Structure 1
């Protein structure tokens, strides 16, 4: 069956609520690890992961950091409005956004939208002993131009009356860390620590790359001692990662855009490892596999602008863009094309975006081992796993369900070797 016509109902399974981990276990690296090795399945403890990895292999982590993206405002009428920051609008650069002072704009999801038609929302608070008023207003002119785009995000302008305070400091003071909706509970203070990876650095995600939550400094040190070469990429995880596939065939599902950053030294190291990696999490997978298609595009468009390197949802399944036929090229040539492009443009890092959907029928180009948690039924993440293990996902999930593995973001994980 052609990938676009896959029926999402074929990727359903019973997930009782009691199997969803509402909180993490007390020691991250004592979680369970399912080992799937070419059809054979067994159970391990996560802290023993390094002994199952080939010495000298390259492992790639997503170093994104979850931001306190939920903000609450109360109108004079008493109505509570939630503004959920989705992606920066002005400035669009994440790093600049968090440094900005005085004003900025975001594309946001808005809770209780019907109660906020017009007017300015205000919130008073203190930072470092200084009183501050934060204001939020919907930019209707911008929103009118957004209407034809992917629907639920609204342009919101923020301003505050203290130019010495950055937006990063405002989020630390009044923002709330978003936790997955399926946990069905309020965010707790402990989530500020447990819902971040120990190596998180670059602010921008609204959901954690959860496969990374199992790593501790002890496990990272053990990886180093076992000769595993560690590298980091950045993919800012959007709320769309929780978006269920609601169409019968996956052709009708629109993937969300996520922003990625990969440094030149990471690409050069990838080349030295014959473009084969162990990916920590599905976000690292989407980043690495998207790189291949960016390199393919550069094969025939060597002078492309950075924005042209965006990977569309169905690029891997179609012969090129705009009717141009693009033949598959080796992964090392695709990655070398990106390195050459960075050199020509005197850039140290690639900043781009991806909407890639990885589903059965997809041929992996770069990732050859995967560490990942157990995902929701009928989700695009389950499609990605199925493509990786050549359809064996049900055996893996049946084993996990019958052996008391914990599921979803705070749950246990698996090492998949196809």
Structure 2
């Protein structure tokens, strides 16, 4: 499978800059992967496709305000710092990306906040873009984290070309987010409202939660034509006994198992037995799924409409079937569905 097969024409005006007013009222394209048939619905109609004891699997990661703007000592040059992950709790070490990267050297100090209330020192150059920062802060850890996150901004993807607004802190997050650690939201889950979750619960749908802390690797461009040569960045995942029991029981009873988003699909496919049972797991995954691929756990999936040439689109194509997906995207463009993080959704059954 070649990279160029995932090119399609996406008019710029179809990239959603804002979420829909109500989470569960975005549009929903329903694709039947066996027949290729397409239906056009509203997201809250998703309840009509699931019955008593079916299982929905959610990613309960929580996005933190990962983008900071600081100034370099002496020159005062503005530097954008993107927090990727905490490396050491006690020493306040963070793995970060800096932009512009060429202006930063080991030993440089960066100042954040109007009154320089946070200072960091560059202690390592890990890659051409990556750095390790040590934050210099004397107070207790909880206060440090609070101060750091108060300075941070919601890390909207660059494709959303506008200033971050106050509503983004709530909307660039699922309503069931629990475990902090993601620099991007699992977008398929952002369509679920409290009311919709309640309706699904009343209908007897079982919910299982897994955790994948979404990293920037999700959005890193693929630079090789031969997809077998692309390496995904590793992301941290957790699958609990409880989640395994809910999913495996659904499998045994031949219920519909729905993965809410590409991150869920990658998580559960990372730790699965040859019989299609999910096993508890705590660790890292760099699983890259692209066609052809045989999924062992979920038989339905909710996804957003992803950007051309993205690994997210490739995973969706692996699940829907390449021709089905390309046709669905073609229809979505013609019907003016909204694409990207804040865009509309697709249910593949």
- Normalised to the residue count of structure 1, the TM-score between the two structures is 0.78
Give the 3-state SS of the residue equivalent to 2:119 in structure 1.
strand
How far apart, CA to CA, are the structure 2 residues paired with 1:410 and 1:380? 18
- Contact between 2:259 and 2:265, CA under 8 Å: does it hold in 1? yes
Answer whether contact 1:133 1:160 (CA < 8 A) is retained: no
Match of 1:67 in 2: 64
Partners of 1:53 and 1:43 in 2: how far apart?
17
Deviation at 1:182, TM superposition (A): 0.8
* Per-residue deviation, 1:372: 0.5
Match status 1:7 vs 2:2: yes
The answer on whether the counterparts of 1:211 and 1:281 sit within 8 Å (CA) in structure 2 is yes
Q: CA RMSD in A?
A: 1.8
1:125/1:79 Cα in 2 relative to 1: closer, same or farther (>3 Å)?
closer
State how many pairs are aligned.
Answer: 341
1:283 aligns with 2:263: yes
Deviations 1:310-350 (A, max 9, x none): xxxxxxxxxxxxxxxxxxx2123xx3xx45xxxxxxxxxx3
Matched with 1:310 is none
CA distance 1:278–1:121, change in 2 (3 Å): same
Unaligned runs of 5+ in 2: none
Give the aligned partner of residue 101 of structure 2. 113
Partner of 1:366: 297
Question: How many Å separate the matches in 1 of 2:42 and 2:25?
Answer: 6
Alpha-carbon distance, 1:41 to partner: 0.3
Q: 1:218 aligns with which of 188, 192, 195?
A: 195
Give SS of 1:269's match.
Answer: helix
**Structure 2 counterparts to residues 279-358 of structure 1, below 5 A:** 279-292=259-272, 295=273, 329-332=274-277, 335=278, 338=279, 350-358=281-289
For residue 283 of structure 1, report the CA deviation from its aligned partner: 0.6
| CA offsets 1:182-229 (integer angstroms, 9 cap, x no match) | 112221111111111111111111111011111101100111111110
Question: Aligned match of 2:337 in 392, 405, 417?
Answer: 405
1:47 aligned onto 2:44: yes
SS in 2 for 1:182: coil
Task: For residue 155 of structure 1, give the secondary structure of its aligned residue in structure 2.
Answer: strand
Match of 2:119 in 1: 135
- 1:164 Cα deviation from its structure 2 partner: 6.2
1:124 deviates by 5.3
Mapping of residues 135-284 of structure 1, within 5 Å:
135-140=119-124, 143=125, 146=126, 152-163=129-140, 165-274=142-251, 277-284=257-264
TM-score (norm 2): 0.93
Contact 1:124/1:133 (<8 A) preserved: yes
SS state of the match for residue 267, structure 2?
A: helix
Are residues 198 and 240 of structure 1, via their aligned partners in 2, closer, same or farther at CA, if it must alter by over 3 Å? same
